[in-house]
Amino acid sequence: MGKKLKKGKAGNAAQYMTRTQAIRKLQLRLSEFRRLSILKGVHPREPKKKPKGANKTYYHTKDINWLAHEPLLNTFRNIKAHEKKVRRARAKQNAELAKRLKQLKPTYRLDHLVKERYPSFIDALRDLDDALTLNHLFATLPAESKYGIPPKVVHTSRRLALEWQAYVVRSGALRRVFVSVKGYYFQAEVLGQSVTWLVPHALSQVLPTDVDYRVMLTFLEFYNTLLQFVNFKLYHVLGLRYPPLLDARLEAAAAELAAIMKDIAGVRDVSEGDRALGGKAVTEGALECAAANEMEMKARIESLQSRLREIVGAAVEAGGEGTASDKDNENKGSSELEEDEPPVLDSGTDDDDEDDDDDDGLGKGEYLSKLDAVARSGGRTSTSAMLWDDDEDNDDDENPAAGHVAGDLDAGSRAAGGALGPDVDPSDEAALCRNLFRGLVFFLGREVPREPLMLVIRAFGGVAAWDGEGSSHDEASEAITHQVVDRPSQGHRFLSREYVQPQWVFDSANFRVLMGTDLYAPGQVPPPHLSPFVGEVDDDGYTPEFAKTVRRLQDAARAARTRAAGLALKGADGSEFVGEGAEVDGAE
């Protein structure tokens, strides 16, 4: 017969202990034990059998033994003893001693806890959602001594939030944004990991009385340390110094994000502003770099044009095989005379191609000129493209196919935005996001939320301006392409720009296309703000009508980007070519 076991020496009774037993073993107060558990990541457990009662909070014995070896345990005990000395000095009315002792309060760091809980940097990125959400929450809260929220914590949270946003803008990592009653939901892709966080609306916050802010401040203390590690690593990956320097002048003008971006992305902002102005004086080195980029772009466009001419010419020759023998006999004499002459590349604008235009519906030269205009315009509606459409208005009745293709090309090129050209891969989502607003300058009205809009606009390649200190453009600047307003009516209007509501910026960023500005005109009810975090079809199989419209616009923009990049499109029969009638995978 074996030795009889005593009660509580095996099973759940030995593997788990109540919170009271853990506090007695560690010789801590309840607040200190709760703080240490949060910092170490130790949480209560739910055993199958609760030997001490169902209304108790249980912890695993191994977790408590792990806490017993934590170096912070001695620091908390020293802080407890130090507070007792301060109270004793105040009780003896020794203010000088109490003041001196208060300045000698023991301090501690949480760096070793971050390295302990997150062995690799990817683990820290995966657990960054709650840290960013709580950080942005306290960045908007007031410093209230009644609830124990010190001003230093608020300032630190604000600084870390701005550093994170500046990195998202600098790297172009922003992917989705959704506006709700709670605030702004953002999602960024950082080193292959999706990070989602919530930013509250910039309104006066009412602090509820039934919330234990001490617990939240303990979580914030660890999360701020974690964010400092993450920001330091991300900034050094980009080759930037950390921490960045804030411009005091812009910070005083309530342009904190612009103040921090001036240090880490000043060169990028200058280049974007010069590209938008189209000819503003820059330094000699910048001019040489711009000239080199322009020559490279022209070479790419010429190679694209030659490839298009070869493909369209082959298609025209294939369509005219039946009459090739007659044309060879007629042109035999003329070809002999022109043997010594250099070949001339047909631009498709001569009157000799009228017969071919009638046969093909859309002329080879006209089609190429259309593509040239789209490629040179960088995704924006150019004057040559608009004139091409106007000249073809009379021919649309006779050739409906030509008008249909012209309308698709024009709508697709406008919707593609700045992400149109040989330097942008249509299949690269990161490149589309970085260049969607390229070449666009937005002026933000005083009534719109500046910081969320500035974050989205700059992350997607645009330039943001406002009425105040630090703005790169004033309201009367001719370089402004869009003005974001949120008022029932706009009195004074500039004919050279579009007036849209803030939702236009968010929807365009989510759908990766430039939405129609007429749907978001000031004073009108905008379309439904669809969430980018859910699919087009819900659980019941319902697809919103506006989602179908957006899908068609995305297909047109994808086709325009693929043509501009010189990639092959797939036709209905599975063949690959570049030309009219091309369809993109997934198009409806």
What SS3 string covers 420-475? Answer: CCCCCCCCCHHHHHHHCCCCCEEEECCCCCHHHHHHHHHHCCCEEEECCCCCCCCC
pLDDT of residue 265: 56
| Residue of 501, 509, 500 whose CA lies nearest to 481 | 500
> Shortest CA distance to 201 belongs to which of 511, 471, 448?
448
Q: Which of 443, 374, 450, 457 is nearest to 409 (CA)?
A: 374
When comparing pLDDT for 274 and 482, which is higher?
482
pTM of the model: 0.71
Residue from 357, 461, 339 nearest 406 by CA? 357
How far, in Å, CA of 421 to CA of 434, rounded? 13
What is the distance between the alpha carbons of residues 347 and 521, in angstroms, rounded to a whole number? 40
State how far the Cα of 516 lies from the Cα of 381, in Å rounded to an integer.
13
Residues in CB range of 78: below 8 A, 6 or more apart: 106
**Span 241-245, average pLDDT:** 86
Note the pLDDT of residue 269: 45
Task: Give the pairing of strands 463-466 and 569-570.
Answer: unpaired
Q: What is the mean pLDDT of residues 39-45?
A: 93
* 170 CB-near residues (< 8 Å, 6+ apart): 238, 240, 261, 264, 265, 268
For β-strands 569-570 and 498-500, DSSP reports them as unpaired
Is the omega angle on the peptide bond into residue 243 within 30 degrees of 0, that is, cis?
Answer: yes
**Average pLDDT of span 26-32:** 90
Question: What sign results for the dihedral spanned by CA atoms 167, 171, 172, 173?
Answer: negative
Q: Amino acid identity, residue 305?
A: Q
What confidence tier does 469 reach under pLDDT thresholds 50, 70, 90? confident
Q: Identify the pLDDT of residue 543.
A: 79
177 vs 204, higher pLDDT: 177
Provide, rounded to the nearest whole percent, the portion of the chain with pLDDT above 90.
Answer: 44
Q: Of 174-183, 214-223, 286-295, 419-428, which gets the smallest average pLDDT?
A: 286-295
| Residue 115, pLDDT above cutoff 80 | yes
pLDDT computed for residue 490 by the predictor: 81
Alpha helix (H) residue ranges in 19-144: 19-26, 30-40, 61-68, 71-91, 95-103, 111-117, 121-126, 129-140
Q: How confident is the model at residue 267 (pLDDT cuts 50, 70, 90)?
A: very low
Question: 469-487: string of b/e by CB count within 10 Å (b at 16+)?
Answer: ebbbbeeebebbbbbbbee
Residue with tokens 């249909």: 404
pLDDT score, position 193: 94
* Statement: residue 288 has pLDDT above 70: no
Checking if the pLDDT of 244 tops 50, the result is yes
Instruction: Identify the CA nearest to 237 among candidates 283, 190, 307.
Output: 190
Q: Which residue has the higher pLDDT, 6 or 80?
A: 80
Check residue 237 and give its pLDDT: 93
**Position 42 confidence tier, pLDDT thresholds 50, 70, 90:** very high
pLDDT score, position 539: 60
Choose the weakest-confidence range: 52-61, 261-270, 461-470: 261-270
Evaluate whether 183 touches 199 at the Cβ level (below 8 Å): yes
| Average confidence (pLDDT) over 235-248 | 85
Percent pLDDT > 70 in the chain is 68
Strand partners, 442: 464, 482
309-357 residue pLDDT tens? 777 676 656 555 544 444 444 444 444 434 444 444 343 334 444 444 4
Phi, psi of 381 (to 5 degrees): -70, 110
Q: What mean pLDDT is reported for the chain?
A: 77
Residue 12: pLDDT over 80: no
CA distance 433 to 418: 10
Q: Using the predicted structure, report yes or no on whether residue 385 has a pLDDT greater than 50.
A: no
Which one has a higher pLDDT value, 305 or 282? 305
Number of neighbours of residue 74 by Cβ within 10 angstroms: 11
CA geometry: angle at 480 spanning 479 and 482, to 5°?
A: 150
The bridge status of strand 174-179 relative to strand 183-190 is antiparallel
What are φ and ψ of residue 200, in 5° steps? Answer: -65, 160
pLDDT at 282 over 50: no
Among 451, 448, 415, which Cα is nearest to 552's?
415
- The whole-number pLDDT of residue 419 equals 83
Task: Report the pLDDT averaged over residues 153-161.
Answer: 93
Q: Which of 124-128, 194-198, 266-270, 468-472 has the lowest mean pLDDT?
A: 266-270
The reported pLDDT for the residue numbered 568 is 53
Residue type, 223: Y
Whether the CB-CB separation of 104 and 82 falls below 8 Å is answered with: yes
